[in-house]
């Protein structure tokens, strides 16, 4: 069974640009969560999508957005990039719903550097 | 509401000595508890999980954790540390209601250093 795939793995952008990151969950998983990880702030929850709807949201500005497609693949977008957006962005998928244990399956992450 | 506290932000042990990473939780309902490990620039990997079955849970790479309801703890242990265990470890709680709602609560993480 293929794991969670995140693309691209590494990218460099400049301030003011925007970026789109992609996440393909494990087959059959309908929930996709996104996290930002930085040395200063640690692991922070961005948002979670389930059946194409944003179900949970963390405390991030509106520059951070996401969406989920009918095949459960998800994208997140960051507009007007700031230096502080440099981070490892992690995606996790889970079954969710009845019978789920809550176990999360993580991708390898997308390392974003903003210059 | 649920919360999780990892009591040590950094733990340093010598190779071959025991490892203890501490985690306390609070949860309104019967929780599922997890330990994840993250090596540098990698995603998180599940070490072990407790989902209301046996209270002593064995995971990968020789790690185990014991669910103690009376102490609201889920400490991670390993009898003998290996250099490859150096990583960051996260304790996570998700109760039944929040699991169905897609919510998990992460601890702040514990960085484990293993000295030769």
Chain B CB within 8 Å of residue A59 CB: no
Set of chain A residues whose Cβ sits within 8 Å of the Cβ of B92: 104
Range B38-44 average pLDDT = 91
Across the interface, do B43 and A45 touch by the CB < 8 Å criterion?
no
pLDDT (tens digit, 0 to 9) for every residue of chain A, 115 residues total? 679 999 999 999 999 999 999 999 999 999 999 999 998 888 899 999 999 999 889 999 999 999 999 999 999 999 999 999 999 999 999 987 666 778 899 999 999 999 9
pLDDT band, very low/low/confident/very high, at B16 (cuts 50, 70, 90): very high
Set of chain B residues whose Cβ sits within 8 Å of the Cβ of A106: 36, 43-45
Chain B CB within 8 Å of residue A45 CB: yes
Residue B103, pLDDT above cutoff 90: no
Look at the block and give the residue holding tokens 């301030």.
A15
Distance CA B81, CA B103 (A): 32
- What integer pLDDT is reported at residue A36 of this predicted model? 96
Distance CA B2, CA A102 (A): 14
- What integer pLDDT is reported at residue B96 of this predicted model? 64
- What integer pLDDT is reported at residue B98 of this predicted model? 65
- What integer pLDDT is reported at residue B97 of this predicted model? 67
Element (H, E) at B11: strand B10-14
B59, B51 Cβ separation under 8 angstroms: no
- What integer pLDDT is reported at residue A95 of this predicted model? 84
* Residue A99, both tokens: 């019978």
The alpha-carbon gap from A17 to the nearest alpha carbon of chain B, in Å, equals 24
Set of chain A residues whose Cβ sits within 8 Å of the Cβ of B108: 42
Chain B residues within 8 A (CB-CB) of chain A? 32, 34, 36, 41-46, 49, 51, 90, 92, 94, 98-104, 106, 108-109
Which 8-state DSSP code applies to residue B81?
-
Cis peptide before A8 (omega within 30 of 0): yes
Sign of CA dihedral B40, B42, B43, B44: negative
Q: How far is CA B84 from the centre of its chain?
A: 17
Other C-beta atoms closer than 10 Å to the C-beta of B108 total 13
Element (H, E) at B113: strand B110-115
Q: Are strands A42-50 and A31-38 parallel, antiparallel or unpaired?
A: antiparallel
Element (H, E) at B31: strand B31-38
Distance CA B72, CA B81 (A): 25
- What integer pLDDT is reported at residue A99 of this predicted model? 65
pLDDT in tens, B44-77: 999 999 987 788 999 999 999 999 989 999 999 9
Distance CA A61, CA B45 (A): 28
Nearest chain A residue to B110, by CA: A42
Half-sphere exposure of B18 (CA within 13 A, CB side): 7
């Amino acid at each position: 069974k293929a794991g969670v795939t995140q693309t691209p793995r590494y990218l460099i952008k400049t301030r003011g640009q925007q970026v789109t990151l992609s996440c393909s969950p494990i087959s059959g998983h309908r929930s996709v969560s996104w996290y930002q990880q930085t040395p200063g702030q640690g692991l922070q929850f961005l948002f979670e999508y389930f059946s194409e709807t944003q179900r949970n949201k963390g405390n991030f500005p509106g520059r951070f957005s996401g969406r989920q497609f009918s095949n459960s693949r998800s994208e997140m977008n960051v507009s007007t990039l700031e230096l502080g957006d440099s981070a490892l962005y992690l995606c996790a998928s889970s079954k969710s719903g009845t019978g789920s244990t809550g176990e999360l399956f993580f991708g390898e992450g997308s390392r974003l550097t903003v210059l | 509401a649920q919360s999780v506290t990892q009591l040590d932000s950094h733990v340093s042990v010598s190779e071959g000595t025991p490892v203890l990473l501490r985690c306390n939780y609070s949860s309104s309902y019967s929780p599922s508890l997890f330990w994840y490990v993250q090596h540098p620039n990698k995603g998180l990997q599940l070490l072990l999980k407790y989902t209301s079955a046996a209270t002593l849970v064995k995971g990968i790479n020789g790690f185990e954790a014991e669910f103690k309801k009376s102490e609201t703890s889920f400490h991670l242990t390993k009898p003998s540390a290996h250099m490859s265990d150096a990583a960051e470890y996260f304790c996570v709680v998700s109760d039944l209601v929040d699991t169905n709602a897609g919510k998990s609560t992460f601890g702040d993480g514990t960085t484990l250093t293993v000295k030769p």
